[in-house]
Amino acid sequence: MYSYSLKLQPEWKDDSVSSLHIEITTDKPCRKGEDAFLRIRNIVNIPFCPFQKDPVLTDEKGVVSCHEEDRPVMQSFIYPVVLVADRDSQGPVTLSYTVSPRIQPEGFRSSPYFDLVPEKGGVNGTGNTFLYVFPDLDRTVTFDLCWDLSLMPAGAKGIWNFSSSGTAHKEDFLMSNVLETVYMCGMVKAVESSPVGFYWFDTLPFDAEEGAGRIVKLFKAMAEMFRDKGGDYRVFARHNQFPGYGGTALTRSYLFGYEKNDTVSLDDLQDLLAHEMVHNWPTMDDSEAGRGTWYLEGSAEYYSTIVPFELGMRSAEKTAEVINRKAGCYWQNPMHTLSNAELGRLYWKDLRCQRVPYARGILFLSNIDAQIRRATEGNKTLLDVELKLLEKRMPEPSDFLEAVKFVSGLDVTDQYEHMCAGQDPVPDPDAFLGKFTVRKAKVRQQNFQNAVEKKDDGPLVDGYVWEVRK
């Protein structure tokens, strides 16, 4: 197993981080004409950070000349570039370069939050937009991280997903996780309660201590429910330059973003983070966009709805509102008749298509849960299916169907195929723990791209509404 040692040296200027010096050292040899390192030139329309100093590759003999080449697009929205060595290397290899944090352009709406963005107090973002890694993203390495804060003011900190101490060491660490984790440095404020940490700069739109308390309670409950194998979970917050709060789930973490004028209540934070926490567990192959999105996002929507309710963190009345917002919006979206495959091809071209799998998934999974409970007289639930799938590293949709049959004896293949084709579901009257009733109703179509454009003056269309069962 090769080593991958990462040294990050942020530089302070004008109350923020103005540049990031990066040094990657490895014992993995470079071969002439072969791909040595990979970076992501563009991911979901977010570019790699601007270079202040171009990459330089060195070994025991000195500079290893190299050049960049494009490689085929991955998952339809990731554009990789590789460094190709012009000679064989000798001994350990070091790749050094310097980047500037990204200044978001006027009118930019970031989703997901991958870019390395500066603000008063520091900078944070994911490795996707500023790190080179080995080309084989499924390779495991011995990973070491060191923050060099010598160019930062006293009290500055360097935080990473798996360490808040300034250094980290991980064995058998996936190369892809080097990219899909959060790096944060500067005058970081924190609330930590093992195994959960919450980090931010400057000010927040809610009380940090109470927000962290809710995060801890939710995570511990979900970790027990999904039989988590242990490890830290961190929530990172940052200011955005555009209105509307939101965030991105990453490896054992969540990156939360908000604009300075956003009003974010603790209930809003709870709803958002409950969804994103679930992403630590249920997984499914989604390499062909749309293939597993219904399960990934549907599971997150379903459990983020029922778990706070079961924990007493949300009332039945509020939960009915959440169900209507998450599931009821399915019929409000004019793209809901498209198939999963059609939606997947349009995710990054039409944001309306991104939202459909969330609603489609929660509707399908809540129906399946109700059917499993009836078939097993309440002895089994959807969670038993989810736990069965967690035994696999990357389950397929067919594994879901097999798990449902194993747990309950039910064959839901036809329902699954109808869901994938975009056929309208009929909500099960016992869905959502049997605590709510559902009825047909007219709802307002919502034909918007970004949430800030949402209006309530769309045409009336057929849909459903949930209410607390009396």
Half-sphere exposure of 150 (CA within 13 A, CB side): 6
pLDDT computed for residue 262 by the predictor:
84
Q: What is the mean pLDDT of the chain?
A: 94
pLDDT computed for residue 453 by the predictor:
59
Helix axes 351-375, 397-408, angle to 10 degrees: 20
pLDDT computed for residue 452 by the predictor:
53
Structure tokens at 301: 């929507």
pLDDT digits (tens, 9 = 90+) for 25-84: 999 999 999 999 999 999 988 999 999 999 999 999 999 999 999 999 998 889 999 999
Q: Which CATH architecture has domain 1-105+124-180?
A: Sandwich (2.60)
Strand ordering across the sheet containing 157-160: 117-119, 122-126, 182-186, 157-160
Question: Residue 465: which of 360, 323, 296, 336 has the closest Cα?
Answer: 323
What mean pLDDT is predicted for residues 293-313?
A: 97
The model scores a pTM over 0.85 = no
Q: Can you give the three-state secondary structure of the chain, one letter per residue?
A: CCEEEEEEEEEEECCEEEEEEEEEEECCCCCCCCEEEEEEEEECCEECCCEEEEEEEEECCEECCEEEEECCCECCCEEEEEEEECCCCCCCEEEEEEECCCCCCCCCCCCCCCCCEEECCEEEEEHHHCCCECCCCCCEEEEEEEECCCCCCCCCEEEECCECCCEEEEEEEEHHHHHCCEEEEECCEEEEECCEEEEECCCCCCCHHHHHHHHHHHHHHHHHHCCCCCCCEEEEEEEECCCCCEEEEECCEEEEEEECCCCCCHHHHHHHHHHHHHCCCCCCCCCCCCCCHHHHHHHHHHHHHHHHHHCCCCCHHHHHHHHHHHCCHHHHCCCCCCCHHHHHHHCCCCHHHHHHHHHHHHHHHHHHHHHHHHHCCCCCCHHHHHHHHCCCCCCCHHHHHHHHHHHHCCCCHHHHHHHHHCCCCCCCCCCHHHCEEEEEEEEECCCCCCHHHCCCCCCEEEEEEEEECC
List the chain domain ranges: 1-105+124-180, 188-273, 282-468
User: Residue 117 pLDDT more than 70?
Assistant: yes
- Can you tell me the distance from the alpha carbon of 144 to that of 444, in angstroms, rounded to the nearest whole number? 52
pLDDT digits (tens, 9 = 90+) for 36-53: 999 999 998 899 999 999
- Would you say how long the chain is, in residues? 470
pLDDT digits (tens, 9 = 90+) for 132-160: 999 999 999 999 999 999 999 999 999 99
- When pLDDT is cut at 50, 70 and 90, the band that residue 417 belongs to is very high
- When pLDDT is cut at 50, 70 and 90, the band that residue 425 belongs to is very high
pLDDT computed for residue 450 by the predictor:
64
- When pLDDT is cut at 50, 70 and 90, the band that residue 218 belongs to is very high
Contact predicate 162/180, CB 8 Å: no
Q: Which CATH class is domain 282-468?
A: mainly alpha
Q: Which CATH class is domain 188-273?
A: alpha beta
User: Residue 93 pLDDT more than 60?
Assistant: yes
- When pLDDT is cut at 50, 70 and 90, the band that residue 275 belongs to is very high
